[in-house]
Amino acid sequence: MAYTDVFPFDWISKSAGNKKWISATAVADYGTSQALAVKPGRSTLVTCDLGACRLVNRAGSAGMVGMGVRYPVTAWVGGQVLASGAFTDDTTDLQDADAGDALLYQRAQPTGNGLLLGARAPFNTVSLILSTAGDQTSPVLALTYWNGSAWVDFTSGVLWQESLVTGPGEKLLVFFDPPDWAQGGSGTNVPQTMYNLRLTFTVSGGGTIDPLVSQVFLGQSHCQMEPVGNFVQVDFSDGPSGRFSSLGDALFPLFSVPSFANMVEAKVRWL
């Protein structure tokens, strides 16, 4: 009996949903009900294997598309980080569905503060639900990772970036994996067993409102293409299949312009 007969691919063809990645709003099931495929409840089936996929942008305007697995809440931590490097854990608030219970940027602190997110494995996709937008003037994102000896600016490695501070709603951030990402990092209380990423903001004008986050999602995406026009499809045809991180517990399509009209077809199995 062939290996592919034992673990056959499932064909999935459906709407991508009116969301950019996991969910357009904070949800108690962490978006699982909106997933394309969910990891089976078997200890031997842990990795999402993608045999092929076709992503059709039908949202009415150009945007990025891709496929990404979400990391479970047990796989990552997060919280506020100050310009001094001090970290305050707020993982529970970042992961639950309570509205606006986590700070994204603190106007009363020196500019250059924001979020620190750390996972047990490298990640390249972040989505957050901004429930209260900040009114800071011209916030500039700085993305930094730990290379084993220093924090390195990696903002130029961003593949897709939205305004994370201003304008409420679902925000999507996709970047390339840093080539020398290491666990740990300098700074007070920074988790030493995680691959840490700092999302901080240099703000011109402090404003009067702190931006608040209801929920954050972390994971790994592949097959990213940007920008593709309306009624343009991205086709990753049959060939050697590709596997996502074994941390991924559910698979979702990425469409930076959300619409129920967006279409995804995929051949998926868990190994």
- CATH number where 28 lies: 2.60.120
pLDDT digits (tens, 9 = 90+) for 83-132: 999 999 999 999 999 999 999 999 999 999 999 999 999 999 999 999 99
What pLDDT score does 6 carry?
66
As separate numbers, helices (DSSP H) first and strands (DSSP E) second, the chain gives 2, 19
Residues 144, 40 share a domain: no
Partner residues linked to 215 by β-bridges:
129
Residue 237: what pLDDT?
Answer: 80
Range of the domain at 204: 75-217
Tell me whether residue 204 is in a domain: yes
What is the pLDDT at residue 233? 94
Quick one: pLDDT at residue 206?
83
- What's the domain count of the chain? 2
Look at residue 41 in the predicted model and tell me its pLDDT: 77
Which residues, at least 6 apart from 50, have a Cβ–Cβ distance to it below 8 Å? 67, 222, 223, 236, 241, 242, 243, 244, 251, 266, 267, 268
Tokens of 54: 């076709």
H-helix or E-strand spanning residue 15? strand 10-15
User: Which parts of the chain have pLDDT scores under 50?
Assistant: 1-3
State the sign of the Cα–Cα–Cα–Cα dihedral 209, 215, 219, 224. negative
Residue 5 lies in a domain: no
Phi, psi torsion values for 95, nearest 5 degrees: -100, -25
Judge if 84 and 188 occupy the same domain: yes
User: In the prediction, which pLDDT does 44 show?
Assistant: 72
pLDDT at 1: 43
Q: pTM value?
A: 0.94
Same domain, 167 and 248: no
Which runs of consecutive H residues, i.e. helices, occur in the chain? 3-6, 91-95
